[in-house]
Structure 1
């Protein structure tokens, strides 16, 4: 940025490129960050969803392996620009959408991040409420309902939100230290739980003996749906991985860290969930996939307290990095003159509370369907970002121009039309399965369709417009 004059409406210290001298995340930091994110209640229960589709336990492992390898590849390539230039997603996306047009995918990503923060935080609230209620039964006596939630649940919510605020108060660069402890610790506790389950079940347990109910084309369709569903949990993070990779000191560190932390950790964690749940069938006669329900069913105060603390730790780990940090950058991008990271964090948590997850958490199928469509729109964004950086820009960006409204990436009054057109068309095609019942089969590959259509259309439209803009401005091709 030396010698450049960035537009104040597009620039502040939190959005500025991080110089190489200040990038101190190693492969270990990147790996432990992903360890902390992969271990959460939603991912734990995902195995139940796969088995409900008719897969055997071993087939669940195959679905997880394919999904997380695809995710790793998408994040590996999309993280490259963050590592090379030290810029976050909300700045990088200006290259493909223009400084004004970039606000559209940024707002979508920010909405999804705050929503998922709300979901995860309320899941942790239930765990805290269960723990305190078990240790101190008088806690449950505070049953007065306020705005649709009991007083004791409000007390638990205050504690959970305060814990998030405490972690965020240490700043984004120090979050790596928290994840360095949280990620491995959660997997260590999961290992202890698995050893306990193996002892109870005298082996992997009955779930591993359940045969597959899917064969032929039914298996193929369900496999595609399962892979897309697993990807859907992290599709939003596939676009904003530069928010983390900008802190990593080298390309080798980000690739190695993500390889260990993402597919490898997921393949370790999934059988842990299945084995532990297998033990619950022997103990209680039914599978218990929700960790909070399992803690309550065990009726052991010490285990409930310890297990609840682990659930809260896992939630803090995933929520901080996967939801709060991206949402902070997205809000800062909207108003860089007024917001910085310290101010954006409390705002994200306040907006998460306004989602009022306690009002719909147990009957949320329609809301999650709507959120799935919104998240699916980020498939085309992933394709557009990859096409822009690797095909159109050839991995070379004019970084100072990303902070200016007029210039190489300015487009038409701040709107780069190839990106917007590709985004709209890609999003419509990816959502056709939800809109047109006859095309519901597309839902099984919606994310892949969105990535392919968005990337292909953007490449076709941007190739000519970029060459024309370069010629008219007398600039050197990128």
Structure 2
């Protein structure tokens, strides 16, 4: 055996339940999720979406809408409508995970083809790496609150780093430590991280509530003048600001919407996600930015300083009053926010990146390996520049919804309307030319063209937002401002129309046998398929594509030795 062969065997992902031979299309983490790993119920799914909302990003999210000149009432209206849109699209996009227990990476094979799936997966990997770094930096600022409550010398630490680095010594220490303590959770299986999410969500919500109550109490019970301010503008301008606000609010959550099925595949029941998604987004996702608004408004009126970031508020406490009481409060709030950032970053970015890398290179990455690599690569993007400079890079990354929103539209239209909730799972893990998802040389050019048609009109607006000196028409700007809404409907419409003009063959065909041990016996009975426990080798020859899979030893059949 050559050195390269030995190295390949050494770094290759080990087989697991349901997979006897790992190939470049499958490993144990990307085949349909079996009953043993589907342990999430209603509260787990509630915690999944809640952890997205009990973060610094959501707390400060309303500030960008207020900066447009909108009133607080209008801002909250935009947030409610934006969250309602997220709820609908998240639930629709959750279906492949709920019905067939497959994740985002495998859904990409359905819509873009076995080889074409790389397009959507690579975009998601880039997003995961960048946003892991971004959220890690915010988490490090919260961790600095903890360290500052322990040590006054840390609070007043002199900066020894050149200004060109755009980072202070204190921030560097916090970032390094935060990144280090973020690694151990990545070795926990995603489905077993649910209890940590539940506890952290509860603690963070009450910490945020306490922060708001403290600020309003200090201001004599008043919520401040900021809550009642707005600017005069034309009705047309105001209408487009509403569209821009709704689009940007959805865009900030579009990455989570796109890979919703990555986590609904852990659900015990098909629609365990319904209550949690609605409650977390419509209630928690509305209350938290409102708390951020009230806190910033009350603090501004009391102290004449506008502070949106909760960590900055805590550091202000310590600088003004380093008493035991203030230190204890700073420690608790800083610790809870740090835990919130770790949990959110682990679930929303690290695991997501791990799942995408597992789907991209299944022979070399499982979820754990991919999550660790996502965390390590996040250093490369230098996330401190996002917050300490006028970086155009963050503008570009924030606009990645331009590319993600059409993908969500394609998945939803394809699954619900074109295929009517039917998939043939075995054909998603083969390069057999007779497979349903091979299309033309492994690529579904039809949906790729639709994707291009949807996002290309928004590119001039994106370019203008990065380089304002490049002029574009008002119509182009407005399309870009509302891109997440417009692009979704464009792709949804075109996917359906194209399926009528060039219909796919046998779209409602499914496997007759549960080859991957995906379903319980009760689920098999409802779907009228043969359970995994009743399959033998002769059943593999029913379908020529499945027969080829059998030859590659992808399917670990039940052991019949004792019969």
With structure 1 as the length reference, what TM-score do the two structures score? 0.92
Would you say 1:132 and 2:160 are equivalent positions?
A: no
Would you say 1:222 and 2:241 are equivalent positions?
A: yes
Give distance in 2, aligned partners of 1:105 and 1:161: 27
Against the structure 1 CA distance between its residues 462 and 164, is the aligned structure 2 distance closer, same or farther, given a 3 Å change threshold?
farther
In terms of Rg, which structure is larger? 2
SS in 1 for 2:29: coil
- 1:309 is aligned, of 305, 330, 335, to 335
Q: CA deviation at 1:357?
A: 1.5
The more displaced of 124-133 and 97-106 is 124-133
Would you say 1:252 and 2:260 are equivalent positions?
A: no
* 1:250-273 Cα shifts (integer Å, max 9, x gaps): 233211111111122112112211
Contact 2:251/2:399 (8 A) holds in 1? no
Contact 1:373/1:431 (8 A) holds in 2? no
Corresponding position of 2:285: 266
Contact 1:430/1:449 (8 A) holds in 2? no
Q: CA deviation at 1:279?
A: 2.1
Corresponding position of 1:326: 352
Contact 2:296/2:307 (8 A) holds in 1? yes
Corresponding position of 1:433: 461
Give distance in 2, aligned partners of 1:5 and 1:181: 37
Corresponding position of 2:104: 89
Give distance in 1, aligned partners of 2:279 and 2:441: 43
Give distance in 2, aligned partners of 1:6 and 1:166: 28
Contact 1:37/1:314 (8 A) holds in 2? no
Give distance in 2, aligned partners of 1:7 and 1:21: 20
Q: CA deviation at 1:205?
A: 2.6
Contact 1:418/1:462 (8 A) holds in 2? no
Give distance in 1, aligned partners of 2:385 and 2:143: 18
Give distance in 2, aligned partners of 1:71 and 1:290: 24
Corresponding position of 1:412: 440
* 1:198-238 Cα shifts (integer Å, max 9, x gaps): 32231333222324544522221111111111111011221
Q: CA deviation at 1:351?
A: 0.6
Corresponding position of 1:145: 161
Against the structure 1 CA distance between its residues 295 and 141, is the aligned structure 2 distance closer, same or farther, given a 3 Å change threshold?
closer
Corresponding position of 1:450: 487
SS in 2 for 1:252: coil
Corresponding position of 2:77: 62
Against the structure 1 CA distance between its residues 127 and 151, is the aligned structure 2 distance closer, same or farther, given a 3 Å change threshold?
same
Against the structure 1 CA distance between its residues 337 and 7, is the aligned structure 2 distance closer, same or farther, given a 3 Å change threshold?
closer
Equivalent positions of 1:11-160 (< 5 A) are 11-133=26-148, 135-139=150-154, 141=157, 143-145=159-161, 148=165, 149-160=167-178
How many residues were matched structurally? 473
Contact 1:431/1:446 (8 A) holds in 2? no
Contact 1:89/1:243 (8 A) holds in 2? yes
The more displaced of 298-307 and 272-281 is 298-307
Contact 2:43/2:276 (8 A) holds in 1? yes
Q: CA deviation at 1:71?
A: 0.4
SS in 2 for 1:233: helix
SS in 2 for 1:17: coil
Give distance in 2, aligned partners of 1:43 and 1:423: 29
- The two structures, once aligned, show a CA RMSD in angstroms of 2.5
Unaligned 5+ runs, structure 2: 1-16, 319-325, 464-470, 512-563
Contact 2:94/2:261 (8 A) holds in 1? yes
Would you say 1:293 and 2:312 are equivalent positions?
A: yes
Contact 2:112/2:444 (8 A) holds in 1? yes
Unaligned 5+ runs, structure 1: none
